[in-house]
Structure 1
Amino acid sequence: MSDRAAEATALAPSAAWTLEEVRSVRHWNEHLFSFTISRPPSLRFRSGEFVMLGLEVDGRPLLRAYSIASPSYADELEFLSIKVADGKLTSRLQKIQPGDHIVLGRKPTGTLVADALLPGKRLFMLSTGTGLAPFLSLARDPEIYQAYSQILLVHCVRTVSDLAFREELESQLAGDPLVHDEALLQFHYLPTTTREPFATNGRIGALIDNGRLFRDLPHNEAHFDPEHDRIMMCGSMAMIKELKERFEGLGFVEGSRNVPGTYVIERAFAE
């Protein structure tokens, strides 16, 4: 067990957090990693939600918001994180190993949940960077396939190695025990890069403008319709600001858990 784990176990569980064990760690590249931890029996969450997560630093929990990448029925919790060399949390978090302990908040929340949107036919999940995480959760939730006839997940990153979980997503979730059959017919994945040659290049706004974003969908309806289309966005503030203005100009209305709409957003961030 590492020194970090010993430090974390010195912090006792409380009404606000639990201590969970790191089960696995995967480093996608020098800037990006994912990890799984044990799931406390008492934790209940909706696919798409985030939770506070972190480590003990100087005798106190240092927590940040992390979207849960695993579906709500999973036995373990999975997360996706960037690495920031001088980040207060990620400079430490990127060094975790199996057997270490993580401080986990007890109250998941968030707006990227199914009932924050009005009923529709097509669901567009638009992400940049680690904003992919909540959509990994939603894409493996059977309820989404019952609610929408077509689901498109777009993941925009700088380089090809930033396309975390690409193999699983390109397979249309092959082998997933609960959604594989539905995903073969309803799920579409569009990875795109902005700083390295790849099959698809360009930011999400550019893919909308040139029609590439719609190309793999049935019937090739190359436009957004607020009557039938629903949109979720997670990622950089620049992406959210640009697309939020675009969609509102088309008549889309932002939703929330209390008042459903035709699009919802969540910022992805870490330090």
Structure 2
Amino acid sequence: MSNWIEASVKEVVWWTDTLFSLIVNADVEPFKAGQFTKLSMMIDDKRIARAYSYVNAPNSNDLEFYLINVMDGLLSQQLAKLTPGDTVLIESRASGFFTIDEIPASEQLFMLSTGTAIGPFLSILDQADVWQKFKQITLVHGVRLNADLSYQKKINQLQQQYTRLRYVPVVSREQAIIGLNGRITDKIIDGSLFKHSQNTTCPQNSQFMICGNPQMVKDTSALLIEQGYSRNRRREPGQITVEQYW
């Protein structure tokens, strides 16, 4: 049973004409970094609900979600119209297993994301405990355009706080201002993604968390499996942990 409670909109941050962050306040149950909840609104007498990952750390009073205003999106179109003081319904209990306690400890962790799926990684990186399991973390963000590289200030803060954090943007549709050009899958095939980590990468010393559109998750997982990595399961720990982002 869903347990819906009211959330008050504190702020709406527009990054581009389609990408925005919704910051709300609500008395939700405790959650783990990397988990998601649901937002909902009544539209034409129907409750429309969608799952969104928390971007904020679990100890923050501000609950933050990173969204794309989808052209024909029933809910995102309405969420995009919200302004401070408005209310939206939020499911008080979070869900999901895309969390650090599900990942085996390792020398290095690669966080591979596309689009708004960088959100759960920002939540995880805001928790000091992630650094007790991994010596080095590489945050990879695949986007179409340089303008889609949101949260630069936050990422810079994290890098200053944690000097072992590397950030690699991968831009597919124009020349990258920072980072690499192309798609994450191409950069795995040609090895350039791992060169950025400045470490040799092998199943004995690396873990991968992959979050993004289903095709990217599928293709990236397949490439890593070809290179000798395996899916991480509770009964049989591996190196690849995934989250489908819609």
**TM-score, length-normalised on structure 2?**
0.92
Cα gap change, 1:61/1:194 in structure 2, threshold over 3 Å: closer, same or farther?
A: same
Query: By how many angstroms is 1:76 displaced?
Result: 1.2
The answer for the alignment partner of 1:142 in structure 2 is: 128
**Corresponding position: 1:266 with 2:246:** no
* Paired residues of 1:115 and 1:257 also in contact (CA < 8 A): no
CA positional deviation for 1:20: 0.6
1:85 aligns with 2:71: yes
Partner Cα distance (2:123, 2:22) in 1: 14
Distance in 2 of aligned mates of 1:265 and 1:170: 25
| Aligned match of 1:213 | 193
Question: In structure 1, what is the Cα distance between the partners aligned to 2:221 and 2:59?
Answer: 31
Q: Equivalent residues in 2 for 1:145-160 (5 A)?
A: 145-160=131-146
SS at the partner of 2:167? strand
1:236 Cα deviation from its structure 2 partner: 1.1
Greater share of strand residues, 1 or 2?
Answer: 2
Amino acid at match of 1:187: L
Aligned partners of 1:248, 1:29: CA distance in 2, in Å?
Answer: 35
Q: 1 CA distance for matches of 2:234 and 2:12?
A: 32
- Partners of 1:212 and 1:23 lie apart in 2 by 41
CA distance in 2, matches of 1:240, 1:156: 12
1:107 shift after superposition: 2.2
User: Would you say 1:21 and 2:8 are equivalent positions?
Assistant: yes
Asked if structure 2 preserves the Cα contact closer than 8 Å seen for 1:172 and 1:189, the reply is no
Equivalent-residue separation in structure 2 for 1:168 and 1:87 (angstroms) = 28
Contact 2:48 / 2:75 at 8 angstroms: preserved in 1? yes
Letter in 1 for 2:21: S
Is 1:235 matched with 2:206? no
Partner of 2:168 in structure 1? 190
Of 127-136 and 242-251, deviating more is 242-251
Give the secondary structure class of the aligned counterpart of 1:264: strand
- The alpha-carbon distance between structure 1 residues 258 and 64, as it changes in their structure 2 partners (threshold 3 A), is farther
Moved over 4 A (4+): 256-260
2:126/2:158 contact within 8 Å kept: no
Instruction: Give the whole-Å Cα distance in 2 for the aligned partners of 1:253 and 1:96.
Output: 42
Superposed displacement of residue 109, structure 1: 1.4
How far apart, CA to CA, are the structure 2 residues paired with 1:43 and 1:258? 28
Compare relative contact order (CA 8 Å, sep 6+) and give the higher one, 1 or 2.
1
What are the equivalent positions in structure 2 for 1:106-117 lying under 5 Å apart?
A: 106-117=92-103
Which of 127-136 and 84-93 deviates more? 84-93
Pick closer, same or farther for the CA change 1:15–1:84 going to 2, 3 Å: closer
Q: CA RMSD in A?
A: 1.9
Percent sequence identity over aligned pairs: 31
Q: CA deviation at 1:171?
A: 4.6
Instruction: Select the residue among 81, 91, 94 that pairs with 1:105.
Output: 91
Q: Is the 8 A contact 2:9 2:88 kept in 1?
A: yes
CA distance in 2, matches of 1:232, 1:262: 8
Report if aligned partners of 1:122, 1:228 keep a CA contact under 8 Å in 2: yes
Please state whether the residue corresponding to 2:74 is helix, strand or coil.
coil
Counterpart residue number, 1:33: 20
Amino acid paired to 1:205 = T
For the residue of structure 1 that corresponds to 2:39, the secondary structure is strand
What is the count of residue pairs matched by the alignment? 244
Q: 1:60: how far off?
A: 4.1
Match in the other structure for 1:244:
221
1:203 aligns with: 183
Q: Per-residue deviation at 1:257?
A: 6.3
**Structure 1 unaligned residues grouped into runs of 5+:** 1-13, 175-179
